[in-house]
């Protein structure tokens, strides 16, 4: 019976894989958004791309889009760390 449970549940690997995926995505988006916000050449490239694609409101979007990317990635990382801290204190 133990072997069947191990095959179906996988030693809690799905939970670890989801956690690793959240952290990896958070790091990726936070770094990418940071470079688009604070690196002048990356910011200029983003602005040019938005203009070439016909996006309306480029002066706002060139700050809003990478800002959302940076904040969203940071939130994934912070909430993962916060949930782990709460879980550790609770146990």
Residue 83: pLDDT over 80: no
pLDDT digits over 3-54, tens only?
A: 555 555 555 566 667 778 888 999 999 999 999 999 999 999 999 999 999 9
pLDDT of residue 4: 58
User: Could you give the CA distance from residue 81 to residue 75 in angstroms, rounded to a whole number?
Assistant: 10
pLDDT of residue 73: 94
The pLDDT-based confidence of 88 (bands split at 50, 70, 90) is low
Q: How many CB atoms lie within 10 A of CB 53?
A: 8
Contacts 24+ apart (CB under 8 A), 59-63: 63/37
For the chain, the structural domain boundaries read 17-90
What predicted TM-score, i.e. pTM, was given to this entire model? 0.73
pLDDT of residue 8: 56
């Amino acid at each position: 019976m133990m072997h069947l449970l191990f095959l179906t549940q996988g030693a809690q690997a799905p939970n670890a894989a989801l956690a690793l995926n959240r952290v990896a995505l958070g790091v990726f988006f936070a770094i990418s958004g940071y470079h688009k916000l604070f690196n002048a050449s990356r910011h200029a490239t983003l602005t040019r791309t938005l203009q070439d694609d016909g996006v309306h409101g480029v002066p706002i979007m060139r700050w809003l889009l990478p800002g959302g990317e940076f904040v969203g990635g940071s939130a994934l990382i912070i909430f993962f760390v916060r949930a782990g801290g709460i879980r550790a204190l609770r146990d």
